[in-house]
Each structure stands twice: as structure tokens, then as C-alpha cells.
Structure 1
Amino acid sequence: MKILHFADAHIDMANYGKHDPASGLPLRVLDFLKSLDTIVDTAIQQKVDMVIFA
């Protein structure tokens, strides 16, 4: 069984810092979404059976 585990995303920090002028979203949110895309792509490519987000 393949398990992908990731943690410490610090989603609670999303409202702090600079915002993207184009979308109005906090840059931290955009960074998290990019990272999440990478995690999902890796899970698909590696054919993992379970993803744990802690």
C-alpha cells in the first residue's frame, strides 16, 4: 500500500501578508493551491492508495 503524507500547510496564515493584485487572493493561498496541485499530481502519478493531510 502506498501512502502519501503531507503536513504543516499553515492554512491559518492565509489572511496575512500581500495579496495578488489580479485575483485579490492572499499570496499564501495561491502558494498553498500550487503546492496542493503538485501533491495531487504526485499522488496520481505514483498511484498512491491513501493521502493523509495532518
Structure 2
Amino acid sequence: SWDSTVHECPQLSRGAAADQRVYLIVRTVVQLSHPAEMQLVLRKRICVNLTGRQ
């Protein structure tokens, strides 16, 4: 379920029409130590449809 208290975006706290989509970018940083020490940044753009509560 969606927790609207963890963000400050009112557009994400309401439902949308069935033909409307919201694009989110998920980003994470992985610290590698083998074979070389480096930071790996992974990003993924996802599309979601926000619906009202049932």
C-alpha cells in the first residue's frame, strides 16, 4: 500500500483517471569492494497508475 506521509507531493496522494500515468525514478547506490572498490549507481524509471482507496 502507498504511504502518503513519506513524501511532500500532493499529486501522489490522490487518485488519477485510468488513462493517467505517473513516472517515478528509483535510484540506489551499491558500494562494491571486489574486484575493485567503486560505487555503482542504478536508476530505473517506472510507470504507475494511482487509483483511489477501495
Same fold (TM over 0.5): no
Structure (1 or 2) with the greater strand fraction: 2
Q: TM (normalized to structure 2)?
A: 0.19
Q: Which has the larger radius of gyration?
A: 2
Q: TM (normalized to structure 1)?
A: 0.19
Structure (1 or 2) with the greater helix fraction: 1
